Amino acid sequence: MCLVLFAFQPGGLRPLVVAANRDEFYARPAKSAHYWPGNNAAEPAHLLGGRDLSAGGTWLGVSTKGRFATVTNFAEDVPNEEALLSRGELVESFLNSSLSAHEFAHQLHGPDYRGFNLLLWDGRDLAYTSNRGTTQDIGPGIYGLANAELGATWPKVVSGVAGLAGICDDVLTTAKLIDLLTDEQVPPDEQLPHRGRPLELERRAASCFIRGEDYGTRASTAVIVENSSICFAEQEYGPGGVRGGYSEFEFAI
């Protein structure tokens, strides 16, 4: 389970603010946030993000060209996973593309992938698409996205959106965003999603930050887009929620 909280204020001093948790099995190999090499020696590195070393691609990334993208899986059981493309390649493909967010979202062939939510920002417009729901351009506001359609009122989405709204007008830093993502409060059973899964499983995945031994929050990422720069920070975690490496990057756009 993953969580993406984001504030979109086009024309404002901070047009895009993102706080996101990546929840995954600790045994799945991944590389921490870094600048990816260009496609050839003449192309400078412009894509920044972690990398999934199992299926390829990334769960969240930005570009020095002023683009952002992130993907979450859709909570469902789907057969023949091996026959489908990696959802992480969607983020990589958009960040390397010159298409607008709207154009990229509308040209995807959803059946090629397992269920996904994809959020795209091209430096001006923000778009959301899912192969389990609708495609839409996003208007100004503060939102939360987990492993269901945009607008789903899962408890950690609702509390996360309220928390982000409470700090967006402050002197905002990546440290505040990462701290927001450490909430381990588990909501009452009656507020948990009803997906036909064991109650204990829903409890373990219900908090914003998941502390586990085999599966849990692997990384918290904060992105603050100013009018002329992007600040990107990543805090990694290991089994038991133990803090790992921390990295921070800032670049002009």
- Domain of residue 174 covers 3-252
The predicted pLDDT at position 97 comes to 96
- The CATH number for 173's domain is 3.60.60.10
Taking the model in full, what pTM does it have? 0.93
Q: What is the 3-state secondary structure (H, E, C) of 39-80?
A: CCCCCCCCEEEEEECCCCCCCEEEECCCEEEEEEECCCCCCC
Number of domains into which the chain is organized: 1
pLDDT tens profile 29-86: 999 999 998 766 667 789 999 999 998 899 999 999 999 999 999 877 665 556 688 9
Q: What is the mean pLDDT of residues 209-237?
A: 96
How far does Cα 101 stand from its chain's mean position? 16
